[in-house]
Structure 1
Amino acid sequence: MKKILIISYYWPPAGGPGVQRWLKFVKYLPDFGIEPIVYVPENPSYPLVDENLLDEISDELTILKQPIFEPYKLASIFSKKKTKTISSGLINVQQQSFVEKLLLYVRGNFFIPDARKYWVKPSVNYLSTYISENHIDTIITTGPPHSLHLIGLQLQEKLKVHWLADFRDPWTTIGYHNKLKLTKKSQAKHKTLEKQVLQKANQILVTSPTTKKEFEEITSRPIEVITNGYDDVNFSRNTSLDQKFTISHIGSLLTGRNPEVLWKALSELIKDDVAFSKAFQLQLIGAVSRDVLDSIQSFGLERHINLVGYVSHQEAQIAQRQSQILLLIEIDSPETKCIIPGKVYEYIQSGRPILAFGPEQADFKQIITQTNTGKSFNYTDDITVLKEQIVNYFKAYQESKLTVHGLGIQQYHRKELTRRLASLLKK
């Protein structure tokens, strides 16, 4: 059986979307004749924790761990709340305190490519010996954090191993880069490191077609799109539909994920239709940025909000199946066209209609259209058309006929995606 070494920062008990991709690849790789070995930090700082994910790890899996030094731990002594807010992505740029601005400047300009850079050297030293002694010829690095790709870069130079660099998100074009207050020198350093990784890796994996196009302008190395996906679920709890006309957003509502055209449409429907007003509920599961919540409340939706907060991945999947409609919102900017939230695939698996908002020609909108699992809108679309769509959903709900019939969703099953990955690795 071929052995591969996977180098990742996020691993159970980490919660959130970053851990799912390689947790699922690792689950299915042995089915295709590949033995994964996972290398992760011994003492990481995860902003979200989901202990239930530990149950998904095979007892036969080899997991290597080494200590990591993270400056965030020192910063948290100075301002724990501010540091956690920055790392979670919930900052309102217009309302930053001096401490937040300072921490962002330090984060952006002193820790390049990110605050896990100090794990690179000890990891290369440790893994060089392990790789040689265990005759491993293929390694995979997954980012962000993109400093992990520097581990792959150095191991490749030192040991001549075959190196696959997996980008769950872009590097220099990701939306939050312009919030890090980078100097011109820091911007140039990021681009230099990005170019080195893209031009040295033997194979590059990305999660969206737009990211592939961006990277093809930097490198001639082979680039493969293998998206995220969904896995089989087995619930012991009842997942019958909510009695209310529940529109649920599951996941973090970051600053900027704020389609006011939707809040206005819902507000007008509540005023114009008594039945809609009595039945409607806006359920927000996960962290919600203060400015987004203020915006929702400014349209008079406060008494219709069910603010749940963070839940485990399993609880989130149950909520997906109980909700009448699933809400998907991405920031409206050119940088987010390539972002396909991991929950898209679980949404399309759930059998519930998706109401999506994001930039024009966003990659995730194409997936929703191709799978026939919902409707997508821009932030600037005609409110009349949006209201008509919500009313159509509401009428179907009243008749107990609100559902969707997905097309071709099997291609996004985690095992099928792993089959494609295994094919690349065996080449």
Structure 2
Amino acid sequence: MAMKRVLMIAYHFPPLAGSSGIQRTLRFVRYLPEFGWEPIVLTAHPRAYERSSDDQLADIPDGVVVVRAPAFDTARHLAVAGRYPGFLARPDRWVSWLPGALWAGRKLIKNYRPHALWSTYPIATAHLIGHALHRMSGLPWIADFRDPMAQDGYPANPKTWASFKRIEETTFKSATFRTFTTPGAVRMYRERYPESPAERTVLIENGYDEDSFVGLEASAASKGSLHPGKITLLHSGIVYPSERDPTQLFQAMSALLQSGRLNPARYVLRLRATAHDDWLKNLAAEHGIADMIELVPPLSYREALEEMLRADGLLVLQAANCNDQIPAKIYEYLRVGRPILGLTDPMGDTAGALRRAGVAGIAPLDDAEAIAAALADFIAQMQAGSPLPLTTEAVSAGSRRQRSAELAGLLEETLSPERPLAECRVLSPTLQ
């Protein structure tokens, strides 16, 4: 059977550094050929990235066509004295990617004649590109939202919120399928757009990539514990002031310290690549726990995975305002197999994913008393060497290869017998 092609529009792609969102597109690109689909990638020029690293470029399979269209970060490249017109950052600061991506996308469609289009949020401009190329070409389009888009109070700027809402509404009218990463998000959008067929709003969760762990476990074992003689609890990734606010955690640690139930000589909380180190440093000092907090800079992706393997425990932070979201790193946490402490709303999707995997240590992120109890119990289990094991089936089900098979299945569905490729407008007359 001949390989079919899909044009994938994604801002998050190597050499961008510091975003777990890279992994979703990168692993689809890696595994889709196993299921009969050849990816073609349309992404942004690296100048648009605030941080870049070459460490994952080697993970792009040989022979994959990757086109990097011109793009700028409005806040860094188009501002004067730190100010810029609002329209240059709507729907986001990378809207300058749009003109060059349309030109490059039309050329890719003409030269490679893909069978379908796929675009991925959270850079909203990607869906603008996907919609425009869909209209120009007539090709079926899968819009990967991942998480909810226009939410209550997000984005905070009313004009930006309105632009998000317009993109969301247009996408639901035009895309063949819309995919989300959590059950709550699927449920929310089926209720938000009841006029749209429910079966076109689909769940494809995030996951972990088994190939990324090759050799890491032996390397981690040879290096040993992050802090010999201490229990190290690790949070890997950005700590958002609203969505992952650790204030109540710090208050709980302070209470445990004052009551003698937390020993600074035996415990350390390592926060890796928070993007808000100054705020967290001051917050820790306010609560008198600075000696137990370790703020460390970003690592390469594989180094971050190895650090997870060397940690004694792994920390999840997720507020109730993100109940319909699951941090992508949770799936890597589960694959690592270390004990997990989940500070999140017990009713949210994050807590549900943790419980299905056998994680028992869950407390609301905004409840210092509950956190103190959960943290004290978690540390006691670490010291006793008796943490509850994770559920093997729940972990193995989260592989990126399995997620790619699910996406390939949706791509096949876009090519229904009622709409064969030969009858599609592969290029509109104005693009010939």
User: Do they superpose with TM above 0.5?
Assistant: yes
In structure 2, distance between residues paired with 1:388 and 1:306: 22
Which of 212, 215, 220 is residue 238 of structure 1 equivalent to?
Answer: 220
1:274 Cα deviation after fit: 7.0
**Counterpart for residue 278 of structure 1:** 265
Alignment deviations for residues 230-271 of structure 1 (CA, whole Å, 9 cap, x no partner): 111022623433431111111111212224332222223223
Is contact 2:320-2:344 (8 Å) kept? yes
Alignment deviations for residues 326-385 of structure 1 (CA, whole Å, 9 cap, x no partner): 11112442xx212211111111111112112234522111000111134221134471x5
Matches within 5 A, 1:125-164: 125-164=103-142
Determine helix, strand or coil for the equivalent of 1:303. Answer: helix
In structure 1, distance between residues paired with 2:43 and 2:341: 36
1:175 Cα deviation after fit: 6.2
1:110 Cα deviation after fit: 4.6
Matches within 5 A, 1:218-237: 218=193, 220-221=196-197, 222-232=200-210, 233-234=213-214, 235=216, 237=219
Determine helix, strand or coil for the equivalent of 1:140. Answer: strand
Is contact 2:42-2:101 (8 Å) kept? no
**Counterpart for residue 369 of structure 1:** 355
Structure 2 residue ranges without an equivalent (≥5): 414-432
**Counterpart for residue 377 of structure 2:** 392
Single out whichever of 346-355 and 125-134 deviates more from structure 2. Answer: 125-134
Matched, 1:213 2:201: no
Is contact 2:346-2:352 (8 Å) kept? no
Single out whichever of 199-208 and 288-297 deviates more from structure 2. Answer: 288-297
**Counterpart for residue 93 of structure 1:** none
Look up the equivalent residue of 1:204 and give its one-letter code. Answer: R
Which of 246, 253, 258 is residue 245 of structure 2 equivalent to?
Answer: 258
Cα pair distance change 1:189/1:56, threshold 3 Å: closer
Structure 1 residue ranges without an equivalent (≥5): 80-101
Matched, 1:6 2:8: yes
Determine helix, strand or coil for the equivalent of 2:141. Answer: strand
In structure 2, distance between residues paired with 1:265 and 1:205: 38
In structure 2, distance between residues paired with 1:175 and 1:303: 36
In structure 1, distance between residues paired with 2:69 and 2:385: 54
In structure 2, distance between residues paired with 1:62 and 1:40: 11
Cα pair distance change 1:367/1:77, threshold 3 Å: same
Matched, 1:182 2:167: no
Determine helix, strand or coil for the equivalent of 2:151. Answer: coil
Is contact 1:338-1:362 (8 Å) kept? yes
In structure 2, distance between residues paired with 1:144 and 1:212: 16
In structure 2, distance between residues paired with 1:287 and 1:69: 24
**Counterpart for residue 165 of structure 1:** 143
Look up the equivalent residue of 2:297 and give its one-letter code. Answer: G
Alignment deviations for residues 379-426 of structure 1 (CA, whole Å, 9 cap, x no partner): 34471x543433333233223334633342111111111111111112
In structure 2, distance between residues paired with 1:128 and 1:7: 12
Alignment deviations for residues 8-54 of structure 1 (CA, whole Å, 9 cap, x no partner): 11111112112110101111111111111111123442133232111
**Counterpart for residue 61 of structure 2:** 58
Is contact 1:261-1:379 (8 Å) kept? yes
Which of 298, 306, 323 is residue 318 of structure 1 equivalent to?
Answer: 306
In structure 2, distance between residues paired with 1:133 and 1:274: 66
Cα pair distance change 1:3/1:276, threshold 3 Å: same
Is contact 2:249-2:368 (8 Å) kept? no
Matched, 1:297 2:285: yes
1:313 Cα deviation after fit: 1.3
Look up the equivalent residue of 1:28 and give its one-letter code. Answer: Y
Determine helix, strand or coil for the equivalent of 1:310. Answer: coil
Cα pair distance change 1:382/1:145, threshold 3 Å: closer
In structure 2, distance between residues paired with 1:266 and 1:189: 42
Determine helix, strand or coil for the equivalent of 1:116. Answer: coil
Look up the equivalent residue of 1:425 and give its one-letter code. Answer: L
Cα pair distance change 1:331/1:394, threshold 3 Å: closer
In structure 2, distance between residues paired with 1:380 and 1:127: 45
TM-score, L = length of structure 1: 0.85
Cα pair distance change 1:4/1:129, threshold 3 Å: same
Which of 37, 45, 49 is residue 46 of structure 1 equivalent to?
Answer: 49
Number of equivalent positions: 395
Alignment deviations for residues 248-305 of structure 1 (CA, whole Å, 9 cap, x no partner): 1111112122243322222232233377332011111112423343222222110112
Is contact 1:50-1:313 (8 Å) kept? no
Look up the equivalent residue of 1:424 and give its one-letter code. Answer: L
Look up the equivalent residue of 2:256 and give its one-letter code. Answer: L
Look up the equivalent residue of 1:25 and give its one-letter code. Answer: F
Which of 281, 287, 302 is residue 274 of structure 2 equivalent to?
Answer: 287
CA root-mean-square deviation: 2.3
Identity of aligned residues (%): 25
Matched, 1:196 2:204: no
Look up the equivalent residue of 1:173 and give its one-letter code. Answer: Q
Look up the equivalent residue of 2:58 and give its one-letter code. Answer: D
Determine helix, strand or coil for the equivalent of 1:51. Answer: coil
Look up the equivalent residue of 1:379 and give its one-letter code. Answer: L
Is contact 2:318-2:365 (8 Å) kept? no
Single out whichever of 219-228 and 169-178 deviates more from structure 2. Answer: 169-178
In structure 2, distance between residues paired with 1:270 and 1:201: 53
Determine helix, strand or coil for the equivalent of 1:261. Answer: helix
**Counterpart for residue 255 of structure 2:** 268
Determine helix, strand or coil for the equivalent of 2:99. Answer: helix
Matches within 5 A, 1:329-344: 329-333=317-321, 336-344=322-330
Determine helix, strand or coil for the equivalent of 2:148. Answer: coil
